[in-house]
Amino acid sequence: MRHPLYLSIILGALSVSAQTIPDRVLTPDVDAFIEGILSAVGSPGGVSVAVVRLDPSGHWNVETKGYGIARLSDNASVTADTLFPIGSNSKLFTVVGTGLLISNESLTPRLSWETKLGSVIPDWKLADSFATDKSSIVDLMGHRTGLPRHDFMYRTDDTFDSVARRVRFLKPSTEFRETFQYNNIMYSMLSYLPEAASTKTPLARYVKKNVFDPLGMDSTTYSFDVANAGGKLSYGVSRENLSFADGLPGTGIPRQLSFWYEKGGEDGNFMSGAGGVISSANDMATWLKTLLLWGKHPETNQTVIPSAVLQRAASGITVAADGISGLPIAQSVLSPVVYGGGQETGTYRGHVIIEVCLVHGFLYTSRNDVVPSMMAASTEHIANCPVFLLTMSESRSSRTTTIQGRFSTRSSSTASSMKPWA
């Protein structure tokens, strides 16, 4: 029940900033607010923050900062270069990689957003024969295959092939294309497309070559080995002997967790498409600038990602939130939310919000006409210190602020069984 409180506090704090557009966003007051959240939930971990603003003259104003501890093993401080698994933010990179394949006219076979999975993935089969035949790239992107999450069906020793062979035994809970049901496994299926096409390249290497490298996101990787080698990787936190009766914060003994998935190297692994990217606040600031420019390089203005790809990702395929459920105060200011591919779109008081992925409900990236928003995932259920971001942009019609975030620790005696995507 704390989440709406955190949301309302940050919305209030940053809506003032949005109106006045200060020279600095990471002021001592904001520092104290972020540190207060970490203290309030008893987190021994930390967060990394990036504030991105494009002013009317076309000049980028970027602020970055770290708060708290990245690793309990050596008490290393979080900085803007600390590396975090970014969880389901990775899904947008999967959709972008897919869009680049679709945009490649020399590719064989040619792909489109409506390409049927069965035509490119040999082992593709669902329990529902109709869904097997009709499922397209867009259906998987939009979480509308009829399958619920089924997150406990895969194991750490799985591969893409072993997961693909077992998907046919998973029971659907709705009819095909009936409703939105978030599903990580379908993004694992999408991650196979670069290999299935004539590129014969794993998703991790394909995205590195076509997105990370051109944008200069040199610290961003799908590889635990690469991220860990530089000594900047953060590690999640669990609590031994946690007492739910005594409540949080601060109960139990904090223990550093091992990294959630270490296999695969630069080729990635079977969960790369759903939640495999590791990055820093500095690199994510570059990514946010690229999104604000609809795929153009923020320094050279050259197109790295066709704008049509990002527009497809943001355009609604399914209804993720109906606008009726939830708190009355939220209903009065928030519209229904539609999900595209790794992104959601809705409005706040009439201003468009485009969210990057869905992590326990709140995770936003700003576009030209976007207002304050926040992701405040439970520290009892989140692992491995993901990135906490703020983004700000200005448009001709409005000055806007967006906040994107996720806390850095999970507190549970059973946390090792949790997964850091959502």
Residue 233 makes CB contacts below 8 A (sequence gap 6+) with 70, 71, 82, 83, 224, 227, 259, 278
Give the pLDDT of residue 57. 82
Cβ neighbour number for residue 353 with a 10 Å cutoff = 23
Task: Identify whether the C-beta of residue 387 lies closer than 8 Å to the C-beta of residue 364.
Answer: no
Q: Is the pLDDT of residue 287 over 80?
A: yes
- Distance between CA 244 and CA 257 in Å, rounded? 20
Least confident of 170-174, 301-305, 395-399: 395-399
Give the pLDDT of residue 21. 62
Q: Is the pLDDT of residue 373 over 80?
A: no
Task: Identify whether the C-beta of residue 10 lies closer than 8 Å to the C-beta of residue 388.
Answer: no
Task: Identify whether the C-beta of residue 276 lies closer than 8 Å to the C-beta of residue 259.
Answer: no
Give the pLDDT of residue 198. 84
Task: Identify whether the C-beta of residue 57 lies closer than 8 Å to the C-beta of residue 250.
Answer: no
What pLDDT digit, counting tens, does each position of 322-365 carry? 878 777 877 788 889 999 999 999 988 888 888 774 432 333 33
Give the pLDDT of residue 379. 28
For the chain, domains (ranges, CATH) are 3-90+207-417 (3.40.710), 94-204 (3.40.710.10)
Structure-block tokens of residue 199 = 């590129």
Structure-block tokens of residue 416 = 């090792």
What pLDDT digit, counting tens, does each position of 168-200 carry? 999 999 999 999 999 999 999 999 999 998 889
Lookup result for tokens 């394909």: 206
Report strand pairing: 84-85 vs 237-240. unpaired
What pLDDT digit, counting tens, does each position of 205-259 carry? 999 999 999 999 999 999 999 999 999 999 988 888 877 777 666 678 888 999 9
Lookup result for tokens 């996101």: 217
Task: Identify whether the C-beta of residue 27 lies closer than 8 Å to the C-beta of residue 265.
Answer: no
- Distance between CA 333 and CA 324 in Å, rounded? 11
Phi, psi of 170 (to 5 degrees): -85, 130
Give the pLDDT of residue 338. 93
Q: Is the pLDDT of residue 6 over 50?
A: no
Task: Identify whether the C-beta of residue 196 lies closer than 8 Å to the C-beta of residue 121.
Answer: yes
Residue 258 burial (C-beta neighbours within 10 Å; 0-12, 13-18, 19+): exposed
Least confident of 76-80, 160-164, 277-281, 378-382: 378-382
Task: Identify whether the C-beta of residue 264 lies closer than 8 Å to the C-beta of residue 188.
Answer: no
